[in-house]
Structure 1
């Protein structure tokens, strides 16, 4: 898949799946516009791939919209930024619930709105990939707010796919299993908890960020021209086990 000459917005590009996606896109010719909160992550990514760095706290709606507008124009969009807080359902705080919805659900909506408005206004085609999670499909203990936020993102993706495809913009979702990122280390550092999850993945391992990035690039590409509204598990068979 060749992305030479294409500009791609990647949120959450500083770490994990977002960074792997940004690096892979750059190696295949794209100019990446990287949105993430950490200035240090942006600095190191810019040195590595020559991206356009835009620091932003995606929990801030106004700042997110301003960053999205600054990132334009772009050919494609990858909404990859995400966060989590681990709490049993009975202990979920309103503050953490609101934070996860702000970053995991509301921010993708805002960035996609500005990206799509720009493309539609120019009569140009495009593609959006929203990075969700298998947590949108199943109830994972201690992940109540995270599961809810990713399920919300899935609902958003389906509506976007219905409304934007007639305007030339395909929208799909990717649903990784546990992927070896800093956030996953935080969530799955307990060996007993990790063993239970691994036991449900037929391929017998957690994902690497590049496993997910390859699927994201396919869904952005012209090779996926008839793929729209997909909820694509990249989970080693977890959801069928």
Structure 2
């Protein structure tokens, strides 16, 4: 998120509050009414885009670690008895492929892990009818598959959210650009009220405070005043 764009939106909201409160002093001028209507519409859209750009993926990231552990544990738990079945059937290749440990699987990352877990389940499925005697039930395999699907979804979700956030950021930047053009017109029109309390309050609202610097000053005082731009 561009800090300058955030600061500009904060200014726009503050200015809209002033102009709305003192509506009776300027609403008799049609051109100002028209510009204000445009600014309100653009500001509303910018606020919506800003909120959308703040999408976070913390929840998905936290859940991911838990699902990884559950999915790996469920598959390893199935692999052990199925590997015994492979020995009984003298299927050395199947036995070797199923000889996995939780530690080795946890070394894999993201989709590599999903693909490996999926492959292990696929190795077991053809023998489901013969695995009851080994304590492996079809329901257990289905449960493991569901965990793998959940893991896959959690891995891909942040990427989708990142793409959505990027789109919102781009839209937000475009809307701030529109606001700059609209405020250029309004600044010229508001000179009609100079000097007056309305104009003074309007100009004060139009000061763009550097919010990032303000937060820094609260933590560690620094020399100099607030930065502003038009």
Q: Which has the larger radius of gyration?
A: 2
TM-score range, shorter chain: under 0.3
Higher strand share: 1
Bigger helix share: 2
